[in-house]
Amino acid sequence: MFSRQPWKPFVAVKYLLFTFYFAALSALLFAAFLLAFLFRPPLQEPQTVEVKVERGEPLSAIVHRLKDHGVISNERLFSLWARLWRLDKKIHWGLYRFELPLPPRQVLDQMQLGKGLFHRVTVPEGLTVREIAELLEKAAIADKERFLAEAAKAELLSRVGMEGKAIEGYLFPDTYYFTPFVTERDILIAMVEQFRASFSSRLEERAGEIGLDVHQAVTLASLIEKETGVDEERPLISAVFHNRLRARIPLQSDPTVIYGMKRFTGALTRKDLQNPTPYNTYRIPGLPPGPICNPGLAALMAALQPAQVPYLYFVSKNDGSHVFSVSLVEHNRAVRMYQSGKRGRAGG
């Protein structure tokens, strides 16, 4: 007969329970240690540290740099936490300023949310590419010549889906936040992408409904942007241009003539109006070959939604607003009233 030893299963169960409790206790202690590491700032003297994170840089390199700069005390724990919560793929590139001492969790949150150092710049409606380059250089964000050279590169235009076109008109006016080491290429791409986001598929469909492609719509919007800064006048200016296009009447817009000139002294002459540039809408039929500035959303909307009015002319009242007329007789009367000694035209 075999002797039975009932105490052996009991010992095995006791051993398993001990192992489980030991593992659980170890896990709890490690979790407590990890939480303490993450949520308690290290003991160090207060200081301000700046750390640069490159685009596409691996987590290991970022963590090593944080450790070198004294932002964190333990690379392995920091990396472990980031990977456990899949935050390692969500760190934004940029320049970060850390006010130490700082809990590692707050360091990770700051980089995950992209709370780095940024230069704020507002690009107003109606600027040309050259004027935007000058604005960015004045704000110490970009070099003007490098910006203009990059804007003309065929490779960049292909990258943003504008083969065979110039970038003029597609640098969307807005407030931007750029890192101190942003490149001119990055700025251009960001502004074109903002245009794409603002000029929605619905606006593109609307352009097709009125017989325009996107490039023509942006070109027309740029004329409207240059002709008036008064919100309520934009649909009226748009109506004048749409009516003239349908009637095959030259647009006669002074801003297009100025854009086509190599140098503008401040006053258009009769000779300027006779200069046969591609942008002289006194000489060419229809729209110029491309935008003459970078229009904002209000001008784009006006180009696609002209007022339902029969106007063919407008003239400046010298206070920023315009008088609109249907006939040349009415227009000439308005010109004599507001622009005595000046020529009459479609544009104001």
CATH, residue 65: 3.30.1490.480
> Quick one: 249 and 291 in the same domain?
yes
> Does some domain include residue 346?
no
> Quick one: 66 and 183 in the same domain?
no
> Quick one: 206 and 245 in the same domain?
yes
> Quick one: 225 and 275 in the same domain?
yes
186 near 171, Cβ under 8 Å? Answer: no
> Quick one: 224 and 212 in the same domain?
yes
Write down which residue in 198, 222, 250 finishes a domain: 198
> Quick one: 88 and 127 in the same domain?
no
> Quick one: 192 and 305 in the same domain?
no
* Lowest mean pLDDT segment, chosen from 26-35, 181-190, 207-216, 299-308: 26-35
Q: Note down the domain range covering 90.
A: 47-112
Q: Which residue has the tokens 């964000």?
A: 141
The mean of the pLDDT values for the chain is 86
> Does some domain include residue 14?
no
DSSP structure string for 44-84: ---EEEEEEE-TT--HHHHHHHHHHTTS-S-HHHHHHHHHH
> Quick one: 62 and 93 in the same domain?
yes
pLDDT of residue 121: 93
234 near 348, Cβ under 8 Å? Answer: no
> Quick one: 208 and 333 in the same domain?
yes
Tokens of 221: 């919007």
What's the mean pLDDT in 329-344? 78
Looking at per-residue pLDDT, the higher value among 41 and 313 belongs to 313
The pTM score is 0.71
> Quick one: 83 and 67 in the same domain?
yes
Per-residue pLDDT tens over the stretch 78-102: 888 888 878 778 888 778 889 888 8
pLDDT at 3 over 60: no
Domain count, the chain: 3
Per-residue pLDDT tens over the stretch 208-264: 999 999 999 999 999 999 999 999 999 999 999 999 999 999 999 999 999 998 888
Percentage of the chain exceeding pLDDT 90: 55
> Quick one: 163 and 230 in the same domain?
no
What's the mean pLDDT in 136-161? 94
> Does some domain include residue 39?
no
> Quick one: 258 and 227 in the same domain?
yes
> Does some domain include residue 55?
yes
What is the rounded distance in angstroms from the CA atom of residue 201 to the CA atom of residue 171? 18
